[in-house]
Amino acid sequence: MDQKLQQKARQYRRDVLDMLYACQSGHPGGSLSCIEILQALYENVMRYDAANPKWPERDRLVLSKGHGCPALYAILADKGFFPKEELKNLRQYGSMLQGHPDMKKCPGVDASTGSLGQGTSWAVGYALIGKRPGHNFNVYCVTGDGESQEGMVWESAMAAAHYHLDNLTVLLDDNGLQIDGTNDQVMSLGDICAKYAAFGWETITVDGHNVDEITEAVKRPRVGKPRFICCRTVKGKGVSFMENQVGWHGKPMNQEQYEAAIRELEV
């Protein structure tokens, strides 16, 4: 993976920690695990115009795991959708940067998410519009493994295959943990790729912290089906005491923890 992309990913992680420490709330674990997924999309894949966020033919991004929005906000600010100074206002009353993405408040946010399991249905709706005459855009949906236990996910998976939505890509942030424990403890997903394949999707598995691998998987020639990319990730990636620790799903940092985390990401 390109050194500049790695440096940028570390910066995004520092931005996430700055935001979460300032507001003393939010979700560090799942925000840190999806950085490279979003980075690949915004660096190498998606068509968008930060100066015209509502451009009708832009590609759409649905962050179904809405609690990971600090990662999205860091990237949107870096790409010029709004001033980076706005990041300090995360979760403040009246801020454009709500604790879950709000498309009516934040430029660059295409879907208001946070109720887990609903983002894939939203993405299917966008993809259906993208198939209508006069439109030609792609839709990317970033989901969580915990939310993949929701029934709506599988209803939308069935619909996407039925309507041959080959303009839709779902990328799973597969970090193995959710708020109450491991996925296997709470509700095992089993072979998630086999499940999507059974619903009629093309499936690919990648290293979810390798921008090049993710980009290559997204850009593969289409085969007439919606595409599911299982991105193997580490919850809390980049901060040693947060990695693979379920307790950091949604816990604020004290000053000592924040300073230690920032030091690790400056290396």
**What is the chain's pLDDT, residue by residue, as a tens digit (267 residues)?**
788 999 999 999 999 999 999 999 999 999 999 999 999 999 999 999 999 999 999 999 999 999 999 999 999 999 999 999 999 999 999 999 999 999 999 999 999 999 999 999 999 999 999 999 999 999 999 999 999 999 999 999 999 999 999 999 999 999 999 999 999 999 999 999 999 999 999 999 999 999 999 999 999 999 999 999 999 999 999 999 999 999 999 999 999 999 999 999 985
CA–CA separation, 9 and 12 (whole Å)? 5
With a CB cutoff of 8 Å and minimum separation 6, the contacts of 247 are none
Return the C-alpha torsion angle 108, 112, 116, 118, nearest 10.
Answer: -100
Residue 173 tokens, joined:
């942030």
Taking residue 17's Cβ as centre, other Cβ atoms within 10 Å add up to 26
Q: Which of 164, 159, 72, 162 is nearest to 122 (CA)?
A: 159
pTM (2 d.p.): 0.97
- What is the secondary structure of 167-198 as a DSSP string? TEEEEEEE-SEETTEEHHHHH---SHHHHHHH
SS3 229: strand
> 231-267 pLDDT, tens per residue?
999 999 999 999 999 999 999 999 999 999 999 998 5
Domains, the chain: 3-265 (3.40.50.970)
CA–CA separation, 211 and 131 (whole Å)? 28
Residue 44 tokens, joined:
């190498």
